[in-house]
Amino acid sequence: MKILNTVMLSVVLLIAPAYAFSSNYGYIRASLIEGDVQINTPEAGDWGFASINMPLAEGDQVWVPQGGRAELQLNSGTYIRLDENTALQILSMDKDSSQFYLSQGYAYIFYDAPGGSVIQVDTPDASTRSFNRAIFRIDMWDRYTDVSVYKGYVETENQAGTTRINAGSMVSFGQNTNGEVAPLGPPDEWERWNEEMNDRIYEGGDRSSRYLPAGLRPYSYDFDNNGRWVHVAEYGYVWTPTVVIGLSWSPYRHGRWIWRGGDYIWVAFEPWGWAPYHYGRWSYIVNIGWFWVPPVASEVYWGPGYVGWVRTNDYVAWVPLAPGEIYYGRGYYGRHSVNITNVNINQVNITNVYKNVQINNGATIVDRSTFATGSPKIVNVHETEVRKDIFTKRNFRAGPHDIKPTRQSYFTSDKSIPQVKLPPQRVRNVQVRELKQSRRLIKEPEKSVLNPGIKPETLPLNTVTTPRTRGKGKPSIQPVKPEEKRKPLMPEGRPAPQVERKQVKPEEKRKPVVPERIPAPRGERQFKPSENRPAVPERNTAPREKKIQVRPAERVTPGGPVVSPSDRGRKQQVQPEEKRKPVVPESNTAPRGKRKQVKPDKKGKSGAPECGPGEKDEKNHEKCPQKK
């Protein structure tokens, strides 16, 4: 059978996407609960007991008490696991990014999002981000935080700087300290438990992936371990659960409708009850029983619960929608849906009954007065009465009913949490809205989370070779003063000695320096070791302001006569007999302007030719100068 609906709205409203009030509740769910795990939602404004398959969203807080553990699953395939005495706040969620705040405790993150995504986990000490698939954990202690990486890498930043942590390493740091990097030590009990959980997820070989659209493959484990795939001529491969509760079981029977995001959302008590109740449709065949029909790849829309509603004076009832039947909801959920926020629901006319009403026990009926309580009472009504008196045209509802929620509508359990079991006061005092304003989600790797608009410095690291295990041994870290943030650290964690840079005056900038950046002695020119340069006479390199002023009459040309002021700028005439006069440099060169003049009669003592006029010097093979 088909549902005929007559609505006074344009066809555009049937196919154009619109904002879904509860669409963002499909990003994350509680996939495992051990112990009395608690949750605080903006709608409730108080703490209540969490349950498996409970949808989570921005603004929610999770508390795992002593002896408890929890696992949260994102629609990207990412898992976040929380150990006992852990508090986690959800700051931001969208299709390609997520942000969490670990106010205390221990978190293990199996990040499996596609490329282009980012996960950001903030703590009071730092902010840790992953931009590619990675497995890491964050452990908070009294005075420092440990970030350990098992696969891939993460970027971690505190007030002293940022660093990259690669697989096999652990970095410890405080809010404004240097860091200590060490190899990972032997696994502790928390790590071993997480490894077992990882193996459990992937041990089935991901068999269901071949039948699921890409958007639902992260939930393959639920389908692999709780049912089987069969082929139906009308729909192709469908999934049927093999773990059911009694002969009276039917879809949307075992669970609760809770109030979230301005809508009633189905929370299934079956461990596998996330994807089959928030995607696709249900049908029934005698030789198979109830089976789930997955959506086509282009029609993967998360919904609060794909059912058809009826309401009478005594009852509230719902029935699973079959493939092709129209879902009336507050938002756009594919081509087989109507967004009732854009139409006048009083003018929606549903003329035919839903197909699955014809199946025995297909509809679920509860006492209307108990619907919004923590324990809705299921009413057993004869099938004849269901079809003739309840699921009739006058009782059909275009969308969820308008029963006002109560405090018990926010949680699946109607039990109140004893005062002594509530989270510690410091956890209850956390204001998520203020946290979100102070810690923004930053998707760009090169940008700072803690100091927006400022490029972060490199975190000084103290490297040790001794492996560390969570909670064993204390890292060697010290506070970093603002003026020390750029100083590198020695392996022992002490600041490396800094070479004091001498302030160079303008007149001294031309002084050569040796490779160790130590000023060279005056008058000496530095050469590379490979150069074999001959020694040259020393030159006076005194600072410019102390340079000896030489009078013009005293200027001496090397090896030549004095140049008078009147001859400046004019080429000095040299007598022929003077051209041959060699000048021998003295070992102790006199200062410029006071250079010692060698008289002709003393040249024999300085190596000049030893002969008389007109004779030939046998030693130097030169003619003696002519005597004037």
pLDDT tens for 273-300 read 999 999 999 999 999 999 999 999 999 9
Question: Would you state the structure tokens that stand for residue 26, as one six-digit string?
Answer: 């499909």
Q: Name the residue among 389, 399, 409, 404 with its Cα closest to residue 312.
A: 389
DSSP 3-state assignment of 164? strand
Question: Would you state the structure tokens that stand for residue 360, as one six-digit string?
Answer: 């025995």
Who has greater pLDDT, 268 or 583? 268
161 and 456 Cβ atoms separated by less than 8 Å: yes
Provide the 8-state DSSP code for 564.
Answer: P
Lowest-confidence region among 15-29, 46-60, 323-337: 15-29
Helix (H) or strand (E) holding 129: strand 127-130
Span 25-203+434-463 CATH architecture: Sandwich (2.60)
Give the torsion through C-alpha atoms of 257, 259, 262, 266, to 10 deg.
-30
DSSP 3-state assignment of 115? coil
Which residues have C-beta within 8 Å of that of residue 303, sequence separation ≥ 6? 278, 279, 327, 329, 333, 337
304 and 22 Cβ atoms separated by less than 8 Å: yes
Mean pLDDT in residue range 214-232: 94
Q: Name the residue among 307, 296, 372, 288 with its Cα closest to residue 334.
A: 296
Give the model's confidence band at 549: pLDDT under 50 very low, under 70 low, under 90 confident, else very high: low
585 and 598 Cβ atoms separated by less than 8 Å: no
pLDDT score recorded for residue 189: 95
Give the model's confidence band at 380: pLDDT under 50 very low, under 70 low, under 90 confident, else very high: confident
Who has greater pLDDT, 481 or 596? 481
Give the model's confidence band at 204: pLDDT under 50 very low, under 70 low, under 90 confident, else very high: low
How far apart are the C-alpha atoms of 562 and 553, rounded to whole Å? 7
Lowest-confidence region among 152-166, 187-201, 527-541: 527-541
Percent of the chain with pLDDT over 70: 71
Who has greater pLDDT, 542 or 466? 466
Give the model's confidence band at 21: pLDDT under 50 very low, under 70 low, under 90 confident, else very high: very low
pLDDT score recorded for residue 514: 42
In the β-sheet with 236-241, what is the strand arrangement from edge to edge?
227-232, 236-241, 289-293, 281-285
How far apart are the C-alpha atoms of 477 and 143, rounded to whole Å? 10
Q: CB 374: neighbour CB atoms within 10 A?
A: 20
How far apart are the C-alpha atoms of 177 and 482, rounded to whole Å? 10
Query: Phi and psi at residue 334, in whole multiples of 5°?
Result: 105, 175
How far apart are the C-alpha atoms of 446 and 448, rounded to whole Å? 7
pLDDT of 582 over the 90 cut: no
pLDDT of 69 over the 50 cut: yes
Q: What is the pTM of this model?
A: 0.74
Give the model's confidence band at 186: pLDDT under 50 very low, under 70 low, under 90 confident, else very high: very high
Query: What's the N-to-C CA distance of the chain in angstroms?
Result: 140
Lowest-confidence region among 86-100, 172-186, 328-342: 328-342
Average confidence score pLDDT of the chain: 79
pLDDT of 594 over the 50 cut: no
pLDDT score recorded for residue 345: 58
pLDDT score recorded for residue 583: 46
Q: CB 484: neighbour CB atoms within 10 A?
A: 14
pLDDT of 161 over the 70 cut: yes
Who has greater pLDDT, 568 or 181? 181
Please report, as a single letter, which amino acid is at residue 457.
E
Question: Would you state the structure tokens that stand for residue 489, as one six-digit string?
Answer: 């650290």
Q: Name the residue among 584, 557, 585, 553 with its Cα closest to residue 571.
A: 557
CA angle 599, 602, 606 (to 5 degrees): 110
Residue identified by tokens 């929608």 is: 321
CA dist 497 → 489, 500, 599 (Å): 9, 9, 58
Residue spans per domain, the chain: 5-17+211-410, 25-203+434-463
Which residues have C-beta within 8 Å of that of residue 166, sequence separation ≥ 6? 149, 153
Give the model's confidence band at 347: pLDDT under 50 very low, under 70 low, under 90 confident, else very high: low
How far apart are the C-alpha atoms of 156 and 127, rounded to whole Å? 6
β-sheet bridge partners, residue 104: 87
Mean pLDDT in residue range 518-535: 42
pLDDT score recorded for residue 570: 46
Give the model's confidence band at 105: pLDDT under 50 very low, under 70 low, under 90 confident, else very high: very high
111 and 435 Cβ atoms separated by less than 8 Å: no
Question: Would you state the structure tokens that stand for residue 314, as one six-digit string?
Answer: 């005594």
Query: Phi and psi at residue 602, in whole multiples of 5°?
Result: -110, 10
DSSP 3-state assignment of 163? strand
pLDDT score recorded for residue 303: 95
Q: What is the gyration radius of the CA atoms in the chain, in angstroms?
A: 43
252 and 277 Cβ atoms separated by less than 8 Å: yes
CA atoms within 13 A on the CB side of 628: 6
pLDDT of 526 over the 60 cut: no
Which residues have C-beta within 8 Å of that of residue 404, sequence separation ≥ 6? 372
Lowest-confidence region among 11-15, 268-272, 333-337, 529-533: 11-15
pLDDT of 511 over the 70 cut: no
Q: Name the residue among 57, 64, 119 with its Cα closest to residue 87.
A: 64
Give the model's confidence band at 272: pLDDT under 50 very low, under 70 low, under 90 confident, else very high: very high
How far apart are the C-alpha atoms of 206 and 43, rounded to whole Å? 37
pLDDT of 578 over the 90 cut: no
CA dist 213 → 218, 275, 417, 509 (Å): 10, 12, 40, 71
584 and 597 Cβ atoms separated by less than 8 Å: no
In sequence order, what E strands does 186-254 have? 227-232, 236-241
pLDDT score recorded for residue 492: 41
pLDDT tens for 414-431 read 888 999 999 999 999 999
Question: Would you state the structure tokens that stand for residue 533, as one six-digit string?
Answer: 């340069």
User: Pairing state of beta strands 118-122 and 97-104?
Assistant: parallel
Helix (H) or strand (E) holding 180: strand 179-183
pLDDT of 41 over the 90 cut: yes
Query: Best-predicted range by mean pLDDT among 131-140, 332-341, 348-357, 611-620?
Result: 131-140
